[in-house]
Amino acid sequence: MKILVTGGAGFIGSAVVRQAIARGHAVVNLDALTYAACLENVASVADNPAYAFEKADIRDPAALAAVFARHDPDAVMHLAAESHVDRSIDGPGAFIETNVIGTYNMLQAARAHWEHKGRPETFRFHHISTDEVFGSLPADPAVKFTEDTPYDPRSPYSASKASSDHLVRAWHETYGLPTVLTNCSNNYGPYHFPEKLIPVVILNALAGKPLPIYGNGANIRDWLYVEDHATALLTVLEKGEIGRSYNIGGENERSNLELVETLCAILDRKRPKPAGRYADQIAFVTDRPGHDARYAIDPSRIRAELGWRPSVTVEEGLEKTVDWYLANEAWWRPLLNRQGVGERLGTGTEK
C-alpha cells in the first residue's frame, strides 16, 4: 500500500512511518514542520526508496490537492494535529485551525482523490484520535471508555479532536468515504517531545530541577508505549472494518504521582544522584483548569476482532524510554530552545 501519513515528523506519526516502511508499505510523509516536528525521527528511513517527504500544511487545500495528485496514495493515516493540551488552553485558535479545519481539508482532498479514482472500496482514510474526546471518568475501575461512550470533551484540545472525529464519521455516512477511526490513550516512548510529562520528568530530574505535578498528582491516565500504538494503527489500517472505530489502550492505569515516582526509581538505579533520590525533586503545582480526573480505555474490540495487544508492560516501556533519553541527549537538547519549550519545563503538564 502507498500510505499518505500526515504528521509523520511528530512523535506518533514518525513511529508509524518507521513501522509502515518496515512492514513493506510505501510512505509519503506530509508535515508542516511546526515547533513539534523533528525530521530526525524518521532519519532511519529517509534514504529508503519507499519513503517520500512533502512539506505541506493541512490548512492549505491547494497544497493537499497537489500532494494527492503527485503521489496517488491508496490510504491516508491522518495524525497531523496540534497535540499539547496546555498550549490549547493558552491559545486555542491554532487547535481549531489545524485539528478541525485541517481535518476538513484532508477529508475533502481525500474524497476528491477517491472519487477521481472511481471510489475504490480498498481506499482508507484512517483518522487518529484520542480518548480525551470521551471526557472524564469516575475512580471506579470497572468503568472504562468503550467505542459507545458518549463524547464529552472538556478542553480546547479534546473538543477540537472530537469535532474532527464527528467530521470523519459524517464523511463516511454522507459521502461513503471508507474511513476508520481510532481513539488512543496517553502514549510515551522514544522521540516524545520534551514538553510532555514523561520527558519533562526525565530531563528535569537529570538537570536537578523540580519535577512539576499538577494538583495532588491523583489524576489517572492509561499509558501505552508508542511502538505498540503504531502497531495497533497499522493493524486497524490493514484489517479494520470500514466505518468502525477502535479504542486503543494499554490497560496500564497509573496516577500521575505513581508514574513520576516509577520514573524516579528507574533513574535512581540507572543514574544515581550523588546524594538523595530523584523523588525528592517532586513539586506539586497549581492544577490545570478543567483537569480530567481519569481516563481508561477498554480495548476489548481491537483485541477480539483484530488480535492486537501491547508488547510491553508500562514498567518495561518506561525502562526502555529512560534508556533512550539517557542515550539520546543530542536529539533532545536542541529542542529545549524551540518555541516556548524551555519555559514549559517548569510548569505542570501531562501526556
Q: How far is the CB of 227 from ligand NAD (least distance, A)?
A: 13
The counts of H helices and E strands in the chain are: 13, 12
246 forms beta bridges with 182
Residue 317 has φ and ψ, to the nearest 5°, of -65, -40
**In the complex, minimum distance from the CB of residue 137 to ligand NAD, in angstroms, rounded to a whole number:** 16
Among 193, 246, 278, 332, binds ligand NAD (CB under 6 A): 193
Distance of alpha carbon 261 from alpha carbon 337, whole angstroms: 27
Residues that contact ligand NAD, how many (by CB under 6 A):
32
Nearest to ligand NAD of 233, 264 (CB atom)? 233
Q: Please give the DSSP secondary-structure letter assigned to residue 281.
A: G
Catalytic one of 31, 57, 86, 132: 132
Among 19, 29, 88, 98, binds ligand NAD (CB under 6 A): 98
**Residue placing its CB nearer to ligand NAD in the complex, 163 or 187:** 187
Active site residue 253: no
The reply to whether 158 sits near ligand NAD by the rule CB under 6 A is no
Cell triple for 103:
481535518
Question: With respect to ligand NAD, which residue has the nearer C-beta, 34 or 179?
Answer: 34
Rounded Cα distance between 59 and 266, Å, is 42
> Considering the rule CB under 6 A, would residue 83 count as an interface residue with ligand NAD?
yes
Closest CA to 99 of 170, 168, 24, 50: 168
Residue 247 in contact with ligand NAD, rule: CB under 6 A:
no
Q: Catalytic annotation on 132? A: yes
Q: Considering only residues 71, 161, 221, 294, which one is a binding residue for ligand NAD as defined by CB under 6 A?
A: 161
187 binds ligand NAD (CB under 6 A): yes
Where are the extended beta strands (E) located within the chain?
A: 2-6, 26-31, 51-55, 75-78, 124-130, 179-184, 186-188, 211-214, 220-225, 245-248, 253-255, 282-285
Report, as residue numbers or ranges, the catalytic residues: 131-132, 157
